[in-house]
Amino acid sequence: MTREGRSLAMVFSAALLIALATMTVALLILLSIRNNQIIDRIEARALQGRAEMIASHLRRDENGEWRLNLPSDVAAAFSIVYGRAAYAVVDAQGKLILGAGTSVPLAEPMPPGSRRPVPFEMERGDAVFTGIVIRTEIDGVPLSIQVAEDEEHPDVLLDDARNGFALGVGLVVMLPVLIALAAVAMVVMHRLVQPVRLLARRAELLDPSRPAERLAEADVPSEILPLVQAVNSMLSRLQAARETQRAFTADAAHEFRTPLAVLRARIELLTERDTAALLGADLAVFERLVAQLLAIAELDDTEAVPDAALDVSRLVREVAAFVLSLADQKRVSLLVELPAAPVILRAHEEALSQAVMNLLENAIGHAPEEGVVRLTLSASGQIEVADSGPGVPEQDREAVFRRFWRARRRIASQRRGSGLGLAIVQRAADIHHGSVEVGVAPEGGALFRLRLGEAALPCPPDQPPEPPRRARFALLRFWRLARRRERLAPTSGALAAPVPSGRT
């Protein structure tokens, strides 16, 4: 059993999803880093603004005391009870001049000459404060304004935005985008592999009975066009090989006919009748093989069912009359069951005649002496041939339709076939887009069932069947029919070969 390979579409989709997920995570990390940088900058500016506001409201009174009158909303943020922020005004020696929320300097004073704000962090209990120090000069006194804020305080909205950014952006933005991209990727992959699936379906519809068919190369993606061209080239080589084999088979069969006819004439001139009978029997086997080679070569040339109507009931009746002599020789009763109304179908006369004939010859050849072969035609055109022989083992029921396949004879007296009879039946079924199968007959032997496909739909009642187009085969059938007509007795719509004298 061929192991099924991995789907390229699934592999590509999985790789694309992994790449999208990786890119999403990387983008989320980069956005988080950038978000933190922006929030840090905003917090630094906010702290610097508060420090500058403190510096602008800081004054010395007439007694030399430092006074700070902040707006009420700003002053409330530095409340000890609120505990959100603190500030300290420190002189150049590091001495605390004024403060809120702290009794000591929050950081070291800025060194002389420094003008850029200096950020710092400090811990107070379990809280972590982020702060900034600016340098100012009031009334000629250099001062350091230190402002710090608890970054974990519930009222610090920027810290909440920092902490919830990754989760919020990931769930609200990135996850839906990832799902949408995955859906788009799956749709795109489905559309990309659709031409491959379409070609696969077309390849499955290629019929061996129509060897000239090829895969269409129009509108095929350039990536798979070389594969399609290679398949079509292989089909062309197979067609050429098949035509060569068919021509050889037909030519060989035709070339054998003249020597066989000469040999048959010379055997009939022999005076020793026993020797002539043995040679004639062997020659008959060879003649049958040649006839079947010709038949299957002709059927191989047939690729379509004609539109002409065919009276299948008449055909079945004539073929049964044609093989009646063979049934008589083996002392086998041949029963033909036909529907009351004629069965008119679009069918290939020669192909169907060969199929019915080979089914009957096969059944008669395997039926025991005093056995029964039953030929049944249904109103839908299904043909069944059953016999009371040994049947076909289950393990051989597919192999029997292969060309030149022959089962091992169970008894020495059993007829050795050429291995082409049932192959002809299979080819006739293929021409009609039908099927043939073998099972177990009610009589205990083999039951062959030939079904015609949709190509052999029933014809309209006003379309009469055409007369036989193969004059030679038709005349031979009518000649046999005329010789046996008096021996065929209709019984309930059936034709039966009478049991020869001596049967019970």
Question: Under a CB-based contact definition with an 8 Å cutoff, are residues 312 and 345 in contact?
Answer: yes
**Whose structure tokens read 């019970």?**
504
Cα distances (Å, whole numbers) of residue 125 to 129, 163, 315: 10, 21, 109
- For residue 134, the 8-state DSSP code is E
Q: Where in the chain is the domain with CATH 3.30.450?
A: 9-160
In the chain, what is the straight-line distance between the N-terminal and C-terminal CA atoms, in Å? 53
Pairing of strands 372-377, 333-337: parallel
Rounded Cα distance between 161 and 36, Å, is 9
Q: Which pLDDT belongs to residue 476?
A: 41
Q: Which two tokens stand for residue 52?
A: 């500058």
Q: Which two tokens stand for residue 20?
A: 């999208």
- Crossing angle for the helix pair 273-300 and 349-366, to the nearest 10 degrees: 140
Residues 407, 255, 472: CA angle, nearest 5 degrees: 85
CATH of domain 208-303: 1.10.287
Rounded Cα distance between 315 and 292, Å, is 19
Rounded Cα distance between 249 and 418, Å, is 14
Rounded Cα distance between 297 and 292, Å, is 8
Kind plus residue range of the DSSP H or E element containing 160: helix 157-169
Give the 3-state secondary structure of residue 119. strand
- Crossing angle for the helix pair 421-431 and 349-366, to the nearest 10 degrees: 150
**Whose structure tokens read 């066989």?**
260
Give the 3-state secondary structure of residue 52. helix
Q: Which two tokens stand for residue 126?
A: 């379990």
Residue 283 makes CB contacts below 8 A (sequence gap 6+) with 260, 263, 264, 267
Cα distances (Å, whole numbers) of residue 93 to 57, 96, 98, 117, 390: 22, 9, 14, 18, 122
Q: Which pLDDT belongs to residue 469?
A: 46
Q: What is the DSSP string of 323-351?
A: THHHHHHTT-EEEEE--SS--EEE--HHH
Other CB atoms closer than 10 Å to residue 162's CB: what's the count? 18
Region for residue 139 given its phi and psi (left: phi exceeds 0; alpha: psi -120 to 50; beta: otherwise): left
What pLDDT digit, counting tens, does each position of 342-396 carry?
A: 999 888 888 899 999 999 999 998 899 889 999 999 998 899 999 998 989 988 8
Q: Where in the chain is the domain with CATH 1.10.287?
A: 208-303
Question: Under a CB-based contact definition with an 8 Å cutoff, are residues 337 and 375 in contact?
Answer: yes
Q: Which pLDDT belongs to residue 84?
A: 75
Q: Which pLDDT belongs to residue 164?
A: 61
Q: Does the structural domain 305-496 have CATH classification 3.30.565.10?
A: yes
Question: Under a CB-based contact definition with an 8 Å cutoff, are residues 122 and 107 in contact?
Answer: yes
Cα distances (Å, whole numbers) of residue 390 to 41, 371, 440: 97, 11, 10
Residues 484, 489, 492: CA angle, nearest 5 degrees: 140
Rounded Cα distance between 336 and 83, Å, is 110
Nearest to 310 by CA among 345, 342, 339: 345
Burial of 485 (0-12, 13-18, 19+ CB in 10 A): exposed
Rounded Cα distance between 48 and 146, Å, is 9
Q: Which pLDDT belongs to residue 485?
A: 36
Rounded Cα distance between 41 and 307, Å, is 88
pLDDT per residue rounded down to tens, the chain (504 residues): 456 666 777 777 788 788 888 887 887 788 777 777 777 788 788 888 888 888 888 888 778 788 888 887 777 777 666 667 888 888 888 888 888 878 888 888 777 777 788 888 888 777 788 888 988 888 888 888 888 887 665 545 555 555 666 666 666 677 777 788 778 878 887 787 788 888 888 888 887 667 778 888 887 888 888 888 888 898 888 878 877 877 777 777 777 777 878 888 888 888 788 888 888 877 777 777 777 777 777 777 776 666 678 899 999 999 999 999 889 988 999 999 999 999 998 888 888 999 999 999 999 988 998 899 999 999 988 999 999 989 899 888 888 888 878 766 554 445 556 678 888 899 888 888 889 999 999 888 999 999 987 666 666 555 556 555 443 343 344 333 333 333 333 333 334 443 332 332
Q: Name the CATH architecture for the domain at 9-160.
A: 2-Layer Sandwich (3.30)
Question: Under a CB-based contact definition with an 8 Å cutoff, are residues 347 and 452 in contact?
Answer: yes
Q: Where in the chain is the domain with CATH 3.30.565.10?
A: 305-496
Rounded Cα distance between 109 and 86, Å, is 16
Rounded Cα distance between 446 and 455, Å, is 27
